[in-house]
Structure formats: structure tokens, C-alpha cells
């Protein structure tokens, strides 16, 4: 008993021992202290999670669609772009870009007036003044009615057939143009069946080559041969043709500073024949024809210059002719019958000239 009493006294007098508060005092302190965070039980937390699920913020599709593009990013629609088979596709793309900028009809119409050429802008303004256009749907319907045309199968096929390839053009560029045109036609006429696209491209590329190159690539026109590999082979052949037909540096010598013309032999050696089908014999014959043409041209120039040359004064007087007597026995300056200077040939009076008066002064003769 004495030990218990001593231990209790020691606890009361020892300042280093932490006092143990009762649960009631802790509850009161938690209620009065505003800085202590309340600790919820796990059961209450689970109930709140079940009753209040977390929702992620979802943006509306209209707001996302409107913020994708600005009006200045829309390409200007020109009047010449509304011609041909792709006019409908161009209009549709133009309208879709404007609809991504705003959802208001008035704003869309203003954007359309600012992103078209002057002729189309005036057309939209006249529609507005005549109260034909008040909504965006009305404007779109008017444009589709005015500028879209029905495309027949014959016209679409003719547009594909008119596309031709020349070996001076890149085969990849021609292929891209044909693919885009074929896509436009396939979109306009989805129910029609056209020939195989890759086979048609290979055939057109092959026809654009010279005859010698066609013989090399004729075996690769098979349907099973890929188009890209065919284009690679054709590009290799085209580079060989360009190297063969590209003149070397300083191949044609220039005129010297004194202005002397090159010799005929040097000129003939510098002649370049762009046709790949010409052989050596044909080249020699062409050179010979050029020489003959040059000689004949020089002869014609010489004859023309000699015919237009004015005869000398001595040569003119060797051919005698008198205009007054109308004979070839003497010349007019030597004629003793002619009247004096400024006298009439008919009446021989001074001042009377047949070019001025219909009759001479004496009236004896009329001019015929």
C-alpha cells in the first residue's frame, strides 16, 4: 500500500510524465479546435463514394467542333473552281469548313461572304437584299442548285481518258492526279463499275514513253506486278532518257567576240536531235538535208537581193524610150519635140497640166 501511494505521489510531482487526457476531454477539444481535420470512418467514406460517383467534365461536341478551325484558315473559293466534275466536292468541303467555325446562321453567312471571290460575294449579297437568303441552309441549297451539275457516265469516263502522260513529267505526279480524279468520279458515281485503276495508270504511263522504252517495260504491265514497282522502273528509264537528251555543258560553242559566225562543220556537229527514235543513219540524212536547205536559202536571198537592187544610171539610159513621142529611138531628155518645162504636152501652153484640169486651156482635147 505504501508503494502505491508513493508511486501516485511521484506521478503527481514528476513534470516529465505526459498527462493522459480522458476521452471526454479529447472530444471537447476536437469540437472547439477549428484546425483539426475531421476523421471520417471508412464506412461513411464508402457510402459517400457509392452515393456520389465521380463524373469527368465532358465537353459538348458542338463546342469542340467549332474550335477546330478559324475563318482565316478556310481557302478562298474561286469561281473557276466550281467547274468540272469536282465542283460538288469543293462546295461540300467549303460548307463543312464554315460550319466548323460557328453555329450561328448569320455568322456563317458572313464568313462565306468573306471567304469567296468577289463575284460570289456579290451574288450572296444580292441574295440577301432580295430576301432569298435568311438562313444558312437556304444559302447552301442555292449554291448547290446553281453550281452543281449532274455527271453522266460517258462524261466521267471521257475525263479519265483525256488524261495523258508525257515522259518529261514525273510519273508519281501523274499518278497522284489520276488517283484524285478517279476518287472524285467514284464518289459521284458509286454504283458504276470502272476499269481497274492501277492497270489504267500503268497503261497510260507506258504509252507516254518512247518506243524503245516501251519495249523494255512491256513485260511489267501484268496485273500482278505492283504499281509502285512499275513507277520505280519507269522513273529509272526516264532518268536515262533525260541524260541521253540533255545537252552537255558548252556543247554548243558561242559566237566569238568579233561577231564571226561559226564554221559550218562546227554548227553541224553541235546539232542536237531530241527524238530518241532517230538512228545514226537518220541523223546523217537530217544533217545533209539541213545543209541543202541552208544552201537553197542562201541562193534565194542572193536572187532576191539582186532583183531588188536599183539599176545604175548608166544602165537606165541604155534602154532608150521617149514618153512624148512614145518611141524607142531616143530618150526623153534628148527629144526636140517635147514642150518646155511646165508646159502642156497637148496644148504646149505653160501652167496647163493634165493631172490638174480635165481639159486643156484651148479645149481642143479632153483627158481620157
> Can you give the pLDDT at residue 2?
53
Average model confidence (pLDDT) across the chain: 70
> Can you give the pLDDT at residue 102?
87
Could you identify the residue written with the cell 465537353?
59
Q: What would the pLDDT profile of 63-86 be if each residue is shown by its tens digit?
A: 445 556 788 888 888 888 887 777
Band (pLDDT 50/70/90 cuts) for residue 60 is very low
The better pLDDT of the pair 140, 8 is held by 140
The Cα 316–Cα 331 span in angstroms is: 10
- pLDDT at residue 40 greater than cutoff 50: no
Band (pLDDT 50/70/90 cuts) for residue 330 is confident
The better pLDDT of the pair 319, 171 is held by 171
If you ran DSSP here, which 8-state letter would residue 260 be given? P
Q: What is the largest CA-CA distance in the chain?
A: 193
Percent of the chain with pLDDT over 70: 62
Query: Quick check: 168 and 159 in contact, CB under 8 A?
Result: no
Q: What would the pLDDT profile of 197-246 be if each residue is shown by its tens digit?
A: 888 888 888 888 888 778 777 777 777 788 888 888 888 888 887 777 65
- pLDDT at residue 323 greater than cutoff 60: yes
Alpha helices by DSSP H, 218-279: 227-245, 264-269
The better pLDDT of the pair 140, 306 is held by 140
Distances (CA, A) of 202 to 242, 294, 336: 20, 44, 93
- At a CB cut-off of 8 Å and minimum separation 6, what does 93 contact? none
> Can you give the pLDDT at residue 236?
83
Average pLDDT for 118-133: 86
> Can you give the pLDDT at residue 233?
83
Average pLDDT for 139-144: 87
- pLDDT at residue 119 greater than cutoff 70: yes
Q: Structure pTM?
A: 0.39
Distances (CA, A) of 296 to 133, 285, 299, 306, 322: 73, 17, 5, 15, 41
> Can you give the pLDDT at residue 245?
61
Average pLDDT for 238-262: 55
Domain limits, the chain: 63-147, 153-245, 317-368
- pLDDT at residue 137 greater than cutoff 80: yes
> Can you give the pLDDT at residue 70?
85
Average pLDDT for 45-73: 55
Assigned C-alpha cell, 172: 508519281
- pLDDT at residue 299 greater than cutoff 80: yes
Query: Quick check: 119 and 82 in contact, CB under 8 A?
Result: no
Query: Quick check: 122 and 147 in contact, CB under 8 A?
Result: no
The Cα 209–Cα 231 span in angstroms is: 12
Query: Quick check: 334 and 342 in contact, CB under 8 A?
Result: no
Amino acid at each position: 500500500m505504501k508503494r502505491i501511494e508513493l508511486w501516485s505521489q511521484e506521478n503527481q510531482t514528476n513534470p516529465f510524465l505526459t498527462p493522459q487526457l480522458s476521452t471526454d476531454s479529447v472530444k471537447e477539444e476536437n469540437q472547439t479546435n477549428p484546425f483539426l481535420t475531421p476523421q471520417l470512418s471508412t464506412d461513411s467514406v464508402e457510402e459517400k463514394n457509392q452515393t456520389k460517383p465521380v463524373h469527368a467534365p465532358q465537353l459538348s461536341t458542338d463546342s469542340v467542333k467549332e474550335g477546330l478551325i478559324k475563318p482565316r484558315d478556310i481557302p478562298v473559293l474561286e469561281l473557276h473552281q466550281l467547274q468540272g466534275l469536282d465542283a460538288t466536292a469543293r462546295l461540300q468541303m467549303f460548307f463543312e469548313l464554315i460550319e466548323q467555325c460557328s453555329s450561328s446562321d448569320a455568322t456563317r453567312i458572313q464568313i462565306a461572304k468573306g471567304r469567296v471571290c468577289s463575284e460570289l460575294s456579290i451574288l450572296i449579297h444580292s441574295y440577301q437584299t432580295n430576301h432569298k437568303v435568311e438562313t444558312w441552309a437556304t444559302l447552301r441549297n442555292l449554291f448547290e442548285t446553281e453550281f452543281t451539275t449532274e455527271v453522266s457516265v460517258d462524261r466521267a469516263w471521257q475525263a479519265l481518258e483525256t488524261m495523258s502522260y508525257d515522259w518529261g513529267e514525273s510519273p508519281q505526279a501523274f499518278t497522284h492526279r489520276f488517283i484524285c480524279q478517279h476518287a472524285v468520279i467514284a464518289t459521284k458515281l458509286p454504283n458504276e463499275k470502272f476499269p481497274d485503276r492501277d492497270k489504267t495508270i500503268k497503261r497510260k504511263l507506258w504509252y507516254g514513253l518512247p518506243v524503245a522504252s516501251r519495249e523494255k517495260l512491256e513485260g511489267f504491265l501484268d496485273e500482278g506486278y505492283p504499281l509502285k514497282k512499275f513507277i520505280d522502273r519507269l522513273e529509272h528509264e526516264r532518268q536515262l532518257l533525260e541524260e541521253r537528251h540533255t545537252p552537255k555543258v558548252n556543247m554548243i560553242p558561242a559566237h566569238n567576240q568579233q561577231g564571226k559566225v561559226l564554221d559550218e562543220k562546227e554548227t553541224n556537229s553541235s546539232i542536237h536531235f531530241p527524238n530518241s527514235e532517230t538512228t545514226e543513219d537518220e541523223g546523217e540524212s537530217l544533217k545533209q538535208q539541213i545543209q541543202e536547205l541552208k544552201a537553197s536559202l542562201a541562193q534565194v536571198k542572193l536572187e532576191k537581193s539582186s532583183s531588188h537592187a536599183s539599176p545604175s544610171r548608166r544602165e537606165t539610159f541604155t534602154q532608150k524610150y521617149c514618153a512624148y513621142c512614145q518611141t524607142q529611138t531616143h530618150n526623153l531628155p534628148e527629144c526636140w519635140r517635147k514642150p518646155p518645162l511646165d508646159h502642156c504636152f497637148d496644148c504646149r501652153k505653160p501652167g496647163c497640166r493634165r493631172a490638174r484640169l480635165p481639159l486643156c486651156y484651148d479645149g481642143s482635147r479632153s483627158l481620157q
